[in-house]
Amino acid sequence: MRTTLAQASLIRHRARTLLAVLGVAVAAAMLLDMVMLATGMRESFRELLVSRGFDLRLAPKGTLPFDTDATIPGVAAITSVLRNNPDIREISPVLGASIHIPIRNREGEGQGDVSSAVLGIDPTVQGDYEFLSGRDVTTPDAIVANDYLIRRLRARIGDTLAVATGYDPQTRTYSGQRKLVLMGRARFVYGAADQSAAAVRRETLEAMQGQARRDHASLFMIRVRTGADPDRVREWIETYIPSVSAISIATAIAQVDQRLSYFRQLAFILGAVSLFVGFLLVTTLVTVSVNEHSGEIAVMRAIGVSRAHVVQQVVLEGVAISFAGALIGLGLGLATARYLNAILSAFPGLPMAIDFFLFQPSAAWTALALLVASGIAAGVYPAWRAASLPIAESLRREAIA
Amino acid sequence: MTEPTQTPAAPDERPIVSLRDVRRDYALGAERVHALQGVTLDVERGDYVAIVGPSGCGKSTLLNLIGVIDQPTSGTVEIGGKRVDDMSDWEATSFRLYNIGFVFQRFYLMPILSALENVALPMAEAKVPREERRERAAQLLAYVGLSNRERHRPSELSGGEQQRVAIARALANRPTLVLADEPTGELDAHTGAEIISLFQRLNADGTTIVVVTHDEGLADAARRKIHMRDGKVVDGSA
């Protein structure tokens, strides 16, 4: 009966209730977006790291992976040391560089060149790209590229490309040039959508870069044995190989957390403001409703309806508005998050796999729980007013009115 | 039809309503209004009492005290031999639910509920099982002549029909006492006469009724008239 009466009270002023529900929905959408934003980048970064299955990354001492052009010398020696640790299952050294690929038209006339990032990898243990089609870099003269680079080159799978690792603009000459066959398409998980990327075998890239980069790597990616503690392996590596910084997923996320702390605070403040606005909206509507129906409430009390039940009915009204608003708001929030994510993810240089707004069921439950809790809280003041109405006085006022 | 008849109980000689030197003062701005000034009154079981008097004489205040929706500034109020003037809100609410039926001038039915649901409302509060309260609400609506209006909302009923639903609601939990505040005040003469007749039948079936009214017809239908003036009972208190 209380549910019926609460529902009745809301239905009686349909337009007003609808507007309040929409208001709460907007606040709920904002809240959900802020909850998603507060954790989105961190979670998508974590998912990105975890998805490739590597537990540790070794960068030149004091740097983050690909943070600088610094490289780690002595790949063979380091690999040999790493193999002494039984907890290490796979080692994937990666060498990063830039390449220049001249473009020629059908008549063979030069039309400038295209620059791109290139990774020298071992295709059997690499964790930098998802192979899409064609063939992987199984031979020394093979290159795979992402779609963006292939489009820029106007190339096709099977084309031979003249790839150089150096270009002197003064003399307009290329260095470290080599003919490579475009064997396949790949999606580079750490690359941005508008960033050219390619991969060749590491030894190919070393050979193209000359003696200075022989036996060098920009990064090692390491997979540990199932059940082994990556942090213990990290400590072991830093003890035995002092020239590297070993970064576990947990450390990387902690560093990202530190860099994103202002971002999260902003999301938290905006989320709190949304919640408060929703709370005020519901409180106002339910208070107005109680004031309008003070006569009815007094009659209910007169015929023996307890204060507790009046409170329940009024709180139910607040919760119903909040719940309906939250449900609509969740849909609205997801739609706006998708739209905003598309805009923000298009920022130059951001990895494609990084999302600003990441939907997680826990975020939706958190937003829903916060809104329902605020609906209950919003009902408390008007419920207290309703339950405290002096019955005789309210009836007298109602009769005079 | 004998639906509202009280369950026969051991004879109780005590008055069902007993007020002794009851005063009720209000603060109206800076002024103090003495709404009731030492009212002493008894109402016997099965009686039908009309309280009459000019506006502002304290009739409704007196009814509110008998109905335990207000408390006196001083004096004692007993209903069915039980002191009700110093009850806590929880006790008073529970007492009203099981012992007192209210009928108001403006009916005050819940607009969204059907006639049947309005009558069942006090029974739901008293935790009467759903099936039983539905059945009993239907019987009460039949008693007041509205068995064909069970599913109608108040807005679909005439004033007289709404007041009859309100009377059925007042009888829902088999109260000891029915209190009515100007029950014909919003009705035309013909419909008012129907309500008067219904009250007479109700009283004849054993319900004690106290009614506050300006309606001479309703007052004349009562077994006893109590006249009030300036917060005092001036005639018919005994």
Question: For position B26, what pLDDT does the model report?
Answer: 86
Question: For position A376, what pLDDT does the model report?
Answer: 86
Nearest residue of chain A to residue B112 (CA atoms):
A8
Provide the 3-class DSSP secondary structure of residue B26. strand
Angle at A19 between CA A16 and CA A22, to 5 degrees: 150
Question: For position A400, what pLDDT does the model report?
Answer: 66
With CB atoms and an 8 Å threshold, state whether B108 touches A396: no
Mean pLDDT of A306-326: 87
Q: Are B97 and B125 a contacting pair, CB within 8 Å?
A: yes
- The answer for residues whose C-beta is within 8 angstroms of residue A294's C-beta and 6 or more apart is A386, A389, A394, A397, A398
Which of B168, B225, B196, B170 minimizes the C-alpha distance to B1? B168
Q: Are B156 and B187 a contacting pair, CB within 8 Å?
A: no
Structure tokens at A237: 């590596």
Q: Are A56 and A356 a contacting pair, CB within 8 Å?
A: no
When comparing pLDDT for A103 and B178, which is higher? Answer: B178
What pLDDT band is residue B10 in, cutting at 50, 70 and 90? Answer: low
List pLDDT tens digits, range A319-352.
Answer: 888 889 988 998 999 999 889 888 887 777 677 6
Whether B192 is in a domain gets the answer yes
Is the pLDDT at A374 greater than 80? The verdict is yes
Lowest mean pLDDT among A14-18, A192-196, A346-350, B205-209: A346-350
CA distances (Å), origin B3, targets A198, B7, B137, B201, B206: 92, 10, 11, 11, 10
Which of A66, A68, A61 minimizes the C-alpha distance to A94? A66
CB pairs under 8 A between A and B: 81
Q: In terms of pTM, does the model score above 0.90?
A: no
Is the pLDDT at A25 greater than 80? The verdict is yes
Amino acid at A87: D
- The answer for residues whose C-beta is within 8 angstroms of residue B93's C-beta and 6 or more apart is A301, A304, A305, A306, A307
Structure tokens at A396: 């007298």
What pLDDT band is residue B73 in, cutting at 50, 70 and 90? Answer: very high
Question: For position B238, what pLDDT does the model report?
Answer: 46
| Best-predicted range by mean pLDDT (A189-193, A374-378, B147-151, B214-218) | B147-151
Is the pLDDT at B23 greater than 90? The verdict is yes
Percent of chain A's residues with pLDDT above 70:
95
Compute chain B's Rg from CA coordinates: 17
Question: For position B7, what pLDDT does the model report?
Answer: 53
Lowest mean pLDDT among A3-17, B125-139, B171-185: A3-17
Lowest mean pLDDT among A191-195, A274-278, A316-320: A191-195
Question: For position A67, what pLDDT does the model report?
Answer: 64
Considering only CB atoms, A307 lies closest to which of B89, B108, B124, namely: B89
Mean pLDDT of A204-216: 86
Q: Are B202 and B28 a contacting pair, CB within 8 Å?
A: no
What pLDDT band is residue B5 in, cutting at 50, 70 and 90? Answer: low
Q: Complex ipTM, two decimals?
A: 0.86
Nearest residue of chain B to residue A391 (CA atoms):
B69
Task: Report phi then psi at B175, rounded to 5.
Answer: -70, 160
What is the dihedral angle through the alpha carbons of A340, A345, A346, A348, rounded to the nearest 10 degrees?
A: 140
Using an 8 Å CB-CB cutoff, list chain A residues near B121.
1, 300, 303, 305
Structure tokens at B219: 């007052």
Q: Are A145 and A185 a contacting pair, CB within 8 Å?
A: yes
- The answer for residues whose C-beta is within 8 angstroms of residue A108's C-beta and 6 or more apart is none
Using an 8 Å CB-CB cutoff, list chain A residues near B126.
304
Question: For position A210, what pLDDT does the model report?
Answer: 83
Which of A141, A127, A157 minimizes the C-alpha distance to A208? A141
Nearest residue of chain B to residue A6 (CA atoms):
B112
Among B62, B63, B85, B121, pick the best mutation site for testing chain A contact (most A Cβ within 10 A).
Answer: B121
- The answer for residues whose C-beta is within 8 angstroms of residue A203's C-beta and 6 or more apart is A120, A140
List pLDDT tens digits, range A148-179.
Answer: 999 998 889 999 999 999 888 888 888 888 99
- Per the DSSP assignment, residues forming a β-bridge with A173 are A168
Count how many domains chain B has: 1
Using an 8 Å CB-CB cutoff, list chain B residues near A398.
106
Q: Are A275 and A374 a contacting pair, CB within 8 Å?
A: yes
Question: H or E element: which one contains A38?
Answer: helix A14-51
Quote the domain boundaries for residue B136: 44-71+86-235
Q: How many residues does chain B have?
A: 238
In Å, how far is A318's CA from the nearest CA of chain B?
19
Nearest residue of chain B to residue A301 (CA atoms):
B93
A326 exposed, middle or buried (CB, 10 Å; 0-12, 13-18, 19+)? buried
Whether B78 is in a domain gets the answer no
Is the pLDDT at B8 greater than 70? The verdict is no
List pLDDT tens digits, range B30-71.
Answer: 888 888 999 999 999 999 999 999 988 899 899 999 999 999
Whether B188 is in a domain gets the answer yes
- The answer for residues whose C-beta is within 8 angstroms of residue A47's C-beta and 6 or more apart is A353, A358
Q: Are A233 and A55 a contacting pair, CB within 8 Å?
A: yes
Among B93, B99, B114, pick the best mutation site for testing chain A contact (most A Cβ within 10 A).
Answer: B93
What pLDDT band is residue A358 in, cutting at 50, 70 and 90? Answer: confident
Neighbouring C-beta atoms of residue B27, cutoff 10 Å: 8
**Would an 8 Å CB–CB cutoff place A14 in contact with chain B?**
no
The CATH number covering residue B173 comes to: 3.40.50.300
Structure tokens at B3: 């639906």
Is the pLDDT at B1 greater than 50? The verdict is no
Considering only CB atoms, A303 lies closest to which of B94, B117, B169, namely: B169
Whether B111 is in a domain gets the answer yes
Q: Are B180 and B107 a contacting pair, CB within 8 Å?
A: no
Which of A54, A2, A24, A56 minimizes the C-alpha distance to A251? A56
Lowest mean pLDDT among B2-6, B99-103, B126-130: B2-6
Q: Which residue is it, tokens 């002191």?
A: B83
Using an 8 Å CB-CB cutoff, list chain A residues near B64.
391-392, 395
List pLDDT tens digits, range A269-290.
Answer: 988 898 898 889 888 888 888 8
In Å, how far is B136's CA from the nearest CA of chain A?
17
With CB atoms and an 8 Å threshold, state whether B113 touches A303: no
State chain A's mean pLDDT as an integer: 85
H-type alpha helices, chain B: 59-66, 89-99, 115-125, 130-143, 159-170, 189-204, 216-221
d(CA A35, CA B161): 55
Q: Are A105 and A114 a contacting pair, CB within 8 Å?
A: no
Lowest mean pLDDT among A352-361, B133-142, B148-157: A352-361
With CB atoms and an 8 Å threshold, state whether B106 touches A399: yes
Question: For position A77, what pLDDT does the model report?
Answer: 92
Is the pLDDT at A361 greater than 50? The verdict is yes
Amino acid at B130: R
Return the domain boundaries, chain A.
2-49+260-400, 62-242
Mean pLDDT of A3-22: 78
List pLDDT tens digits, range A253-263.
Answer: 888 888 778 87
With CB atoms and an 8 Å threshold, state whether A303 touches B94: no
Whether B193 is in a domain gets the answer yes
Whether B25 is in a domain gets the answer no
